[in-house]
């Protein structure tokens, strides 16, 4: 069965902290994605990766970076967390011709 | 041009009724249009998807209607049930595995 796991369901961080969100998929998918979900705005793409060590900016990359050292793992990094990064963060993966599968999400609160 | 506009933002339907959610897009290069369903505390999950070479796709109580000339597509949920209460997102992409552009979401509540 398809599985995308995210390291935390809930996180509370302070402004200025460095935050790591981890995502792991067990489907040998080439593509991985990070979205943030906010009420009334839907899901917005932050970064995506089509291969190991590859990364592409999505629609809202400012304030974020990513790392993909292994095919199954895709990390989202908030270098210096700010209150406007309080959100639900969703990771997804897909192969080139298959649909995207989503993890359960991480709800991040930045105080 | 990359946007997908979804309406309504929220929808209340009586049990047994028909729920209809609409989406519109601008980019004619989009060739894959999925609908995702999200329950509270869960990530979105694919519900049904369509390609622009067909005008309708039905899976059980869920139907996508696609109007290529109008650049619109819609989700119809027949015989809506309380268990259908969730947030629904339309999306569009170029290629099935590629990045998705999501609509704003519709929160559906089906009253018993």
Lowest mean pLDDT segment, chosen from A2-6, A74-78, B22-26, B55-59: A2-6
Give pLDDT tens digits for B57-80: 999 999 999 999 999 999 999 999
Distance of CA B61 to the CA centre of its chain: 13
A1 pLDDT above the threshold of 80: no
Question: Taking an 8 Å Cβ-Cβ cutoff, which residues of chain A contact chain B?
Answer: 4, 30-31, 33, 35, 40-45, 48, 58-59, 90, 92, 94-105
Question: Taking an 8 Å Cβ-Cβ cutoff, which residues of chain B contact chain A?
Answer: 2, 6, 9, 34, 36, 41-46, 49, 89, 95-105
Q: Does residue B103 contact residue B93 with C-beta atoms inside 8 Å? A: no
Binned at pLDDT 50, 70 and 90, residue B95 comes out as: confident
SS (H, E, C) chain A: CCCEEECCCEEEECCCCCEEEEEEECCCCCEEEEEEEECCCEEEEEEEECCCCCCEECCCCCCEEEEEEECCEEEEEECCCCHHHCEEEEEEEECCCCCCEECCCEEEEEC
Can you read off the two tokens belonging to residue A67? 């790392």
Q: Does residue B58 contact residue B110 with C-beta atoms inside 8 Å? A: no
Give pLDDT tens digits for A16-48: 999 999 999 999 999 999 999 998 888 999 999
Q: List CB contacts (< 8 A) between B48 and chain A.
A: none
Question: Partners of B88 in the beta sheet?
Answer: B37, B106
**What pLDDT does B1 receive?**
60
């Amino acid at each position: 069965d398809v599985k995308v796991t995210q390291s935390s369901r809930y996180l509370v961080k302070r402004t200025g902290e460095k935050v790591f969100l981890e995502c792991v998929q067990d489907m040998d998918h080439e593509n991985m994605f990070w979205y943030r979900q906010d009420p009334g705005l839907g899901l917005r793409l932050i970064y995506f990766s089509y291969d190991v060590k590859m990364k592409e900016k999505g629609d809202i990359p400012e304030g974020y970076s990513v790392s993909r050292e292994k095919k199954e793992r895709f990390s989202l990094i908030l270098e210096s967390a700010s209150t406007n990064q309080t959100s639900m963060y969703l990771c997804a993966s897909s192969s080139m011709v298959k649909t995207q599968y989503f993890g359960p999400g991480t709800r991040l609160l930045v105080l | 041009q990359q946007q997908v506009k979804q309406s309504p933002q929220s929808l209340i339907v009586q049990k047994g009724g028909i729920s209809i959610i609409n989406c519109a897009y601008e980019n004619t290069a989009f060739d894959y249009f999925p609908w995702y369903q999200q329950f509270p505390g869960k990530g979105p999950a694919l519900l049904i998807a369509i390609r622009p070479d067909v005008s309708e796709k039905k899976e059980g109580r869920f139907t996508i209607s696609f109007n290529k000339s109008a650049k619109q597509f819609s989700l119809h949920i027949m015989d809506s049930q309380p268990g259908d209460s969730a947030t629904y997102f339309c999306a569009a992409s170029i290629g099935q595995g590629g990045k998705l552009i999501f609509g704003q979401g519709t929160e559906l509540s089906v009253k018993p």
